[in-house]
Structure 1
Amino acid sequence: MATVGILTDTTASIPEDMIAQLGIRLVPYYVHRGLETLRDMVDIRPDEFVAYLRQAVSLPTTANPSPGDYLAVLQDLARTTKQIVALTMTSKGSGAYQSCKAAVTMFREKLPDVQVEVVDTLRVAMSHGWAAIEAARIALQGASLREVTARAVEVSRRAMMIQTADTLRYLYMGGRIGRAQHLVGSLLNIKPLIGIEQGSIVALGVARTRPTAYARIVQIARKFVGEGAKVRAAFTHVGAPEEAGELRRNFEGVIECVEVIVGSLSPALAVHSGPGTVGVSFFAV
């Protein structure tokens, strides 16, 4: 039995078997598709969403959980634990951190005897997910609230996410690049590479082919962790398991992985880069 309850959101993209095994509680993001409001990873699943995206003429929008969403899960967790660590994706890319903090303020008024710490991971996808996983692991070993919080912060600050999209179409449809960039990039078949630095999504370059993109991802990762480092790595994709496997083979050929996870990005993240996206989130052990 864990000494500390762990709460995070669905954009962490943690595989469901690990969620169950580690006892992590999830708060879903929302995907607005036409007149529908769908709960990420509850009402809409990755495979179904990929099929929808492939034929979409306009993109769904997303919304972070409300304070009420967080409050409901906090209250449920408080039935079994008096200590909770809540982790959110980067506050520089979402309002989830602010929603969670507001929920904790209300929660403390209702249940002042339950201790809650909120961690802004400053990361996205499984670079955020790894922090929740590692926090949950030491909680199961009997770690204190302070130790679990410190581990979550440590891993999130050491983690990195790098991914490449197969096309600029979804970045354009989502308003993240202009029409001219989209036209030129599409003509040149450009594959953008993005990462995260100090909590913000940043461009890391472009590639003309998938193999070139994968080689560049590995090069950036190797520089980030240092020569001879061992890492825990999670390879994520949007409807592209074979491509994720190819990236994994390239990555493991250069960097030693002591643990590997392969899984899908949640729909709330997949909408921003589209089908064919592959990436890796990792940290040195």
Structure 2
Amino acid sequence: MQVKIITDSSCDLPVEFLEKYEIDMVPLVVNLENEEYFDKETIQSNDVYDAMRNEKVPKTAQAPAYRLQETFTSYAEKQHPIIFIAMSSKLSGTYQTAVLMKEEVLEKFPNASIAVIDSYAGSGGHGLLVKYAAELAHANNNLEDMERKLNHVRNHIEHIFTVDNVEYLYRGGRLSKASAVIGGLLNIKPILTLPQGKIHPVGKVRGQKKLYTKILELMTERGENLEEQTIIIVHADNSEGADHLKKLIEEKTNCHSFIIHTIGSAVGAHVGPGALGVFFFNQLSIE
């Protein structure tokens, strides 16, 4: 029986891809103006971006425990093996909650086959790991082999991303007020990565042209055989920036396989409209 892939809505992959590989998605929660919504179900990213432009401050929460439990139980009842791939545990409590729900389900269904993976990733990086998992499942890898391979590959996913307005990082507690004010006045763009699942700044530049130059520089330094990869580009209502970055990457690396997608509302609530990210592997071998 083919392993079922389940993930949370931090995973920024197109609906068409999720449907093709029959991947289930459990939503993260977005709170906006005292109303609670399910990411990608009852609220969409543009709703959040429009609210942020109007000075609203959305909050987010992990995937609800009951949704995880219901989903795991539905497959345990059928003795269908599953792997749940969660957003980085450094950014969300979803992984820890999923581990607890796994234990609860196993108490009732002790023969169930359930694996829970901390992706060490978010957004498109999370998407890369889910994509890889779907391909492994489609090739009929068993649960144990998939868990081993995913735990290896998660250490080799590169995240390079930036935000259009540093004020959003300040609101989310990622940047001091002084840095936000200075950054806004000087048009300074932070460049961020996600080593071991935790946000880490790697530089800052002034202006869009230098921003793209620095992103390409980091990609060529860190990526392995980029021309052989599928590179994921995500954006927060910034399709023009995503298309421009894709064109530059094609010219620089000769890569022609891309997935371009919008950042979901839960992740988007922290990075804000205009954000842009690119995700790829720094190692292609799995052993």
Q: Deviations over 1:10-36 (max 9, x none)?
A: 001111111111111111000011210
Which residue identity does 1:93 align to in structure 2?
Answer: L
Query: Does 1:60 find its partner at 2:58?
Result: yes
Percent of residue pairs identical: 27
Partner of 2:38: 39
Partner of 2:50: 51
1:122-137 paired onto structure 2 within 5 Å: 122-137=120-135
* Cα shift at 1:153: 2.3
Mapped to 2, the partners of 1:158 and 1:252 lie a distance apart of 21
Query: Does 1:13 find its partner at 2:12?
Result: yes
Partner of 2:148: 150
* Cα shift at 1:235: 0.5
Mapped to 1, the partners of 2:267 and 2:242 lie a distance apart of 16
Mapped to 1, the partners of 2:225 and 2:71 lie a distance apart of 42
Q: State the number of aligned residues.
A: 283
8 A contact 1:166–1:191 mirrored in 2: yes
Question: SS of the residue aligned with 2:202?
Answer: strand
1:136-175 paired onto structure 2 within 5 Å: 136-175=134-173
Mapped to 2, the partners of 1:150 and 1:252 lie a distance apart of 32
Query: Does 1:29 find its partner at 2:28?
Result: yes
Mapped to 2, the partners of 1:3 and 1:227 lie a distance apart of 30
* Cα shift at 1:256: 3.7
- Change in CA separation of 1:46 and 1:81 when aligned onto 2, cut-off 3 Å: farther
- TM-score normalised by length of structure 2: 0.93
Mapped to 2, the partners of 1:228 and 1:203 lie a distance apart of 23
CA RMSD of aligned residues (A): 1.7
1:49-198 paired onto structure 2 within 5 Å: 49-55=48-54, 57-79=55-77, 82-198=80-196
Larger mean CA deviation between 234-243 and 106-115 belongs to: 106-115
Mapped to 1, the partners of 2:162 and 2:102 lie a distance apart of 35
Mapped to 2, the partners of 1:104 and 1:214 lie a distance apart of 42
Mapped to 2, the partners of 1:179 and 1:109 lie a distance apart of 48
Mapped to 2, the partners of 1:217 and 1:281 lie a distance apart of 11
Mapped to 2, the partners of 1:136 and 1:81 lie a distance apart of 19
- TM-score normalised by length of structure 1: 0.94
Which residue identity does 2:37 align to in structure 1?
Answer: L
Mapped to 2, the partners of 1:76 and 1:92 lie a distance apart of 28
Mapped to 2, the partners of 1:69 and 1:256 lie a distance apart of 42
Structure 2 residues without counterparts, runs of 5 or longer: none
Mapped to 1, the partners of 2:163 and 2:66 lie a distance apart of 34
8 A contact 1:134–1:151 mirrored in 2: no
8 A contact 1:132–1:152 mirrored in 2: no
